[in-house]
């Protein structure tokens, strides 16, 4: 008889994810899904988990990634919210098997340093983008430095942003910035409704670059600096770079990976005619 003898058979593989923690958004369908999944699969505290299953939309995924950034726990999202670009399809059955087959995507955040008009310094990280916005009806007036070299003495408009590849399909894409493959080693620098120079949409920069914005006439033309959901107002200077000391892991079903969705997103507008 062909095959291994019983004593020669390989032991079953040890599951990667024995301890699952569930988090959900405040939406009724997300909370209901969490209760049903906890009843079926059990749950542990977040700090004890091998994996976190997030039930909601992209906002919850970003929040969960931020919350687990220091520990680095993998996050597997299932769509029970509004926007679900970062999420897997929702199904109650077969969760353990899906987790074991999931493909990891490792992403690094941006780090933002802000100096405000009162001389205070602030710090935050962003998974999607760091954005500068005008606070009033007055257009923002910015100067732009890249790696210590001034590249633009005056950018006038609603503001500007720096996006990671993971965040390039979010606000950056809505502002007509480029979509970046996850392995591109690039950052997208995108202008927000530029008045001057006209038609300048932005630039692609190596992800080792340090971008510094100086806010010109900051009292008359106040500007906010925002790292994902963290906002500091009345900025005078904003410095942005990739944080190479931190990384986060998202898990996706093999047929629903981030690389494929980012490529598909670039052709979505054409598919609509």
E strands in 86-184: 103-107, 110-116, 121-126, 129-134, 140-146, 149-163
Q: Are 20 and 42 in contact (CB under 8 A)?
A: yes
Using CA atoms, how far residue 3 sits from 10, 11, 12, in Å, is 12, 15, 16
Q: Which residues, at least 6 apart from 16, have a Cβ–Cβ distance to it below 8 Å?
A: 50, 51, 99, 100
Per the annotation, the verdict on 116 as an active-site residue is no
β-strands 20-24, 51-56 pairing: parallel
Catalytic residue among 2, 58, 207, 245: 58
List the Cα angle 211/216/221 in 5-degree steps.
Answer: 115
Annotated binding site: 58-59, 128-129, 158, 166, 169-174
Paired tokens of 12: 């079953």
Spatial separation of the C-alpha atoms in residues 168 and 152, rounded to whole Å: 22
Within 8 A by CB and 6+ apart from 114, the residues are 121, 122, 123, 124, 225, 232, 235, 237, 238, 239
271 vs 126: CA distance, rounded Å: 31
Provide the token pair at 171: 């606000």
Binding-site annotation: residue ranges for NAD(+) = 58-59, 128-129, 158, 166, 169-174
Q: Which residues are catalytic?
A: 58
């Amino acid at each position: 008889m062909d095959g291994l003898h019983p004593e020669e058979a390989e032991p079953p593989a040890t599951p990667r994810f024995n301890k699952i923690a569930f988090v959900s958004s405040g939406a009724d369908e997300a909370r209901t899904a969490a209760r049903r999944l906890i009843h079926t699969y059990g749950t542990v505290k977040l700090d004890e988990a091998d994996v976190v299953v997030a039930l909601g939309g992209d906002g919850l995924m970003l929040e969960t990634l931020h919350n687990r950034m220091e520990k680095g726990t993998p996050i597997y999202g299932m769509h029970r919210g509004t926007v679900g670009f970062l999420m897997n399809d929702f199904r109650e059955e077969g969760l353990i098997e899906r987790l074991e087959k999931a493909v990891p995507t490792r992403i690094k955040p941006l780090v933002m340093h802000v100096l405000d008009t009162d001389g205070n310094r602030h710090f935050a990280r962003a998974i999607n983008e760091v954005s500068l916005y005008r606070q009033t009806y007055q257009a923002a007036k910015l100067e732009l430095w890249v790696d210590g070299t001034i590249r633009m003495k005056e950018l006038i408009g609603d503001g500007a942003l720096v996006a990671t590849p993971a965040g390039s399909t979010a606000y950056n894409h809505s502002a007509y910035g480029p979509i970046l493959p996850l392995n591109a080693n690039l950052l997208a620098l995108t202008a927000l409704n530029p008045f001057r120079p006209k038609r300048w949409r932005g630039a692609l920069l190596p992800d080792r670059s340090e971008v510094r914005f100086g806010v010109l006439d900051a009292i008359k033309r106040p500007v906010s600096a925002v790292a994902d959901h963290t906002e500091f107002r009345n900025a005078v200077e904003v410095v942005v770079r990739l944080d190479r000391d931190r990384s986060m892991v998202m898990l996706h079903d093999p047929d629903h990976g981030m690389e494929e969705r980012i490529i598909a997103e670039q052709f979505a507008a054409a598919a609509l005619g």
